[in-house]
């Protein structure tokens, strides 16, 4: 019996690889000789680097870079087959790097993300895959651009500082000194966020509040991004403000498109293609996927649905093991999932479930294989 486990992480409690290992233990209680292939997944957010490095035998690179509020942080990224770099912007510019009481989208910068890109270029890669989930920033990628050599000057011809409050002062953009290697490097943006840069569906209004912005702040932040975006379009002679994904990661999507010729891709679709999931699924008897919370949003490009879509091309059964089921989780049954197993097996708090995720996922893995074996009887 061949079983493919391709799950996303359970954010805050276990990585995608750890979840796969827990599920495998449960399977082996029933089918000790099963051929179990673990393919950790991510969709461009947390765990993207780990998923691809583990799946493709890549290597990690650690780099000390500028954190979102200017402090130094240690960030890691991956190198695959010597010519592809995998970066998570959240490693350098992420919300989790800032205590909740210190979050300030006016000051947060993507400069460290630019430093990671520059480090990847130093390794001679031909393509950079950059996951842009979990940002603390709202600077439209201005900091990232500065780290790569773009000059952003105010009306006194002085280079601006970091964060949206400094972006508000930009009067001139000069890209003549941008790292020339950018032009010859494919920049693939991994994100399922399709928001434009500005407006009620833009970066500031939709994502600003979780980064510490008040209702008054989001109006100011949106105006800053609109002004900067229009200046970028005029200066570079491009259109990017209304492109899908321009508003991702506080506008980093727009910055990557404008300064690095970045192309937006569905995170999960691109990753599933890279790890060649389809070839593995063809030979499988059962596919197990999962995520921390499965609800109505799961059908909008989340990892388990991407896995199920491929599995159903080859008529393979799909079981999802999840941390919890939310509102309208049953919608996934119309998108290729055959059974959802919630790891919560008795009344408990979220904290208790997170603290015992290994034991609970192992039990769920046993349930999954027992359910599958029923059809064999």
For 61-83, the pLDDT digits (tens) are 999 999 999 999 999 999 999 99
Q: What is the Cα gyration radius of the chain? A: 22
- The burial of 178, by beta-carbon neighbours within 10 Å (0-12 exposed, 13-18 middle, 19 or more buried), is given as middle
Please tell me whether residues 224 and 282 are part of one structural domain: no
Please tell me whether residues 90 and 150 are part of one structural domain: yes
Instruction: State yes or no: pLDDT of 376 exceeds 80.
Output: no
- Find out whether 109 and 137 touch, Cβ atoms under 8 Å: yes
In a domain, 355, yes or no: yes
- Find out whether 332 and 322 touch, Cβ atoms under 8 Å: no
In a domain, 226, yes or no: yes
In a domain, 272, yes or no: no
Please tell me whether residues 76 and 154 are part of one structural domain: yes
Retrieve residue 281's tokens: 């699924």
Please tell me whether residues 205 and 283 are part of one structural domain: no
In a domain, 69, yes or no: yes
Q: Which of 246, 267, 288 is the last residue of a domain?
A: 267
* Residue reference for tokens 């990224």: 77
Reference 137, options 166, 164, 100, 168; nearest CA is: 164
Please tell me whether residues 223 and 170 are part of one structural domain: yes
The pLDDT of 349-359, averaged and rounded, is 93
Retrieve residue 68's tokens: 């979102």
Q: How many domains does the chain have?
A: 2
Please tell me whether residues 186 and 306 are part of one structural domain: no
- Find out whether 295 and 325 touch, Cβ atoms under 8 Å: yes
pLDDT of residue 377: 65
Q: Mean of the per-residue pLDDT values for the chain?
A: 95
In a domain, 297, yes or no: yes
Structure confidence at residue 326 as a pLDDT band (50, 70, 90): confident
Q: What is the pTM of this model?
A: 0.88
Rounded CA-CA distance 139/214 in Å is 16
Please tell me whether residues 193 and 137 are part of one structural domain: yes
Instruction: State yes or no: pLDDT of 171 exceeds 70.
Output: yes
Supply the CATH number for residue 311's domain.
3.40.50.10350
In a domain, 161, yes or no: yes
The b/e string for 196-230 (b: 16+ C-beta within 10 A; e otherwise) is: bbbbeebbbbbbbeebbbeeebbebbbebbbebbe
Please tell me whether residues 182 and 258 are part of one structural domain: yes
Supply the CATH number for residue 118's domain.
3.90.1510.10
Q: Give rounded-to-5 percent helix, strand, coil for the chain.
A: 45, 20, 35
Please tell me whether residues 244 and 102 are part of one structural domain: yes
Q: Which of 239, 267, 295 is the last residue of a domain?
A: 267
Find the domain containing 114 and state its range: 48-267
Which sign does the torsion angle of CA 287, 319, 355, 76 carry? Answer: positive
Please tell me whether residues 287 and 209 are part of one structural domain: no
Phi, psi of 43 (to 5 degrees): -120, 20
Rounded CA-CA distance 144/89 in Å is 10
Please tell me whether residues 69 and 209 are part of one structural domain: yes
Residue-wise pLDDT tens digits, 228-246:
999 999 999 999 999 999 9
Q: Which of 208, 237, 267 is the last residue of a domain?
A: 267
């Amino acid at each position: 019996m061949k079983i493919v486990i391709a799950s996303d992480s359970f954010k805050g409690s276990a990585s995608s690889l750890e979840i796969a290992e827990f599920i495998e233990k449960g399977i082996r209680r029933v089918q000790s000789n099963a051929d179990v292939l673990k393919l950790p997944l991510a969709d461009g957010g947390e765990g993207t680097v780990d998923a691809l490095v583990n799946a493709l035998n890549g290597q990690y690179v650690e780099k000390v870079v500028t954190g979102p509020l200017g402090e130094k942080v240690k960030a890691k990224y991956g190198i695959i087959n010597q010519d592809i770099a995998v970066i998570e912007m959240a490693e350098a510019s992420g919300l989790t790097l800032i205590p909740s009481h210190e979050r300030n989208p006016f000051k947060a910068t993507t400069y460290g993300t630019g430093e990671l890109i520059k480090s990847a270029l130093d390794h001679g890669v031909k393509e950079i895959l950059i996951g842009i989930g979990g940002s603390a920033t709202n600077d439209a990628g201005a900091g990232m651009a500065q780290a790569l050599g773009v000059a952003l000057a105010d009306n006194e011809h002085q280079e601006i500082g970091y964060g949206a409050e400094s972006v508000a002062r930009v009067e001139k953009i000069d890209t003549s000194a941008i790292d020339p290697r950018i032009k010859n490097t494919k920049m693939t943006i991994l994100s399922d966020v399709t928001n434009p840069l500005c407006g009620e569906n833009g970066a500031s209004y939709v994502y600003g509040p979780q980064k510490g912005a008040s209702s008054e702040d989001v109006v100011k932040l949106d105006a800053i991004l609109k002004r900067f975006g229009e200046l970028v379009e005029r200066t570079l002679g491009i259109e990017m403000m209304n492109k899908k994904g321009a508003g991702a990661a506080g506008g980093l999507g727009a910055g990557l498109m404008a300064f690095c010729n970045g192309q937006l891709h569905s995170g999960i679709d691109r990753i599933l293609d890279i790890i060649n999931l389809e070839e593995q699924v063809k030979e499988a008897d059962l596919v197990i996927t999962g995520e921390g919370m499965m609800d109505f949003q799961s059908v909008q490009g989340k990892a388990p649905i991407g896995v199920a879509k491929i599995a159903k091309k080859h008529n393979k059964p799909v079981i999802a093991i999840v941390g919890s089921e939310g509102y309208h989780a049953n919608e996934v049954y119309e998108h290729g999932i055959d059974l959802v197993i919630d790891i919560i097996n008795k009344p408990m708090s979220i904290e208790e479930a997170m603290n015992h995720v290994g034991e609970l996922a192992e039990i769920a893995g046993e349930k999954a294989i027992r359910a599958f074996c029923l059809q064999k009887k």
